Amino acid sequence: MSKVPAAHETERRLALLKAAFREVGEKGFSDVTLEDIADRAGVSKGVTLYYFDSKEDLFRSLFAWLIDSIQDRMRQAVAEEDQPVEKIRALVALIFPSPSRNRAFFRAYVDFCGLAARREAFRQVGERFYANCREIDRGIVEDGMRRGVFTVRDPAEAASTLRAIFDGLMLQWLMERDQEATFQVYRERCERELLNYLLVKKGPLHGAGTAGPRGAREREK
């Protein structure tokens, strides 16, 4: 089989995934049609149905592609840093790139979560996403524990907590009226709270943080 047609099909499939991402980010999953996606990709609806059985199949494939791409970049960003604290900062920089990029992703992601809560095929994609994220986060935590930098006791639990901080702050930012003005505030807070949770020496970071669990216990005495 010639490699040219295969490469062409891969390129066209990727164009459809990118078109779906833009359309869903702008309109929401329920309002987007296959015709909308085909028009944006510059192909016919028939071509779209050649690659994907339905709009749901396309959306599920989109997120499978997105999470693989995101996690490849997460692993690369972490591998480029030697110190555990810098690995955390690299993840924050990657996950909070800019207001426009975060807005585009999380608008589509909210729709995806709604489907994942109701449909098994979508849930499986989401399960794989979080399992891989926790694997990356756990590796950072275990490295920090070995070096005596992080004081948490259970790396698996800590990895899950890191994801909760990432997602919780990002979703709160998405509800802000002025997302441009508040983006950097949320990004800095995310880094601060992650490190306050993990670090052995608890205390304010960047001049604006709150004391970590050890400081809280000391105040209660």
pLDDT of residue 200: 67
CB of 88 within 8 A of CB of 74? no
Count of structural domains within the chain: 2
pLDDT one digit per residue (tens) for the chain, 221 residues: 344 457 788 899 999 999 999 999 899 999 999 999 999 999 999 999 999 999 999 999 999 999 999 999 999 999 999 999 999 999 999 999 999 999 999 999 999 999 999 999 999 999 999 999 999 999 999 999 999 999 999 999 999 999 999 999 999 999 999 999 999 999 999 999 999 999 965 445 444 444 343 443 343 44
> Residue 23 belongs to what H/E stretch?
helix 3-27
Domain holding 131, by residue range, is 54-220
The CA distances from residue 38 to 16, 19, 27, 34, 104, in Å, are 7, 8, 15, 6, 19
Question: DSSP label at 30?
Answer: G
Q: What is the 3-state secondary structure (H, E, C) of 183-196?
A: HHHHHHHHHHHHHH
CB of 116 within 8 A of CB of 122? yes
pLDDT of residue 8: 81
Residue 199 bridge partners (DSSP): 150
CATH code at position 48: 1.10.10.60
Cα(161)–Cα(165) distance, integer angstroms: 6
Of 14, 29, 52, the residue at which a domain comes to its end is 52
pLDDT of residue 221: 41
The verdict on 146 and 201 lying in the same domain is: yes
> Residue 84 belongs to what H/E stretch?
helix 84-95
The verdict on 171 and 121 lying in the same domain is: yes
pTM over 0.85: no
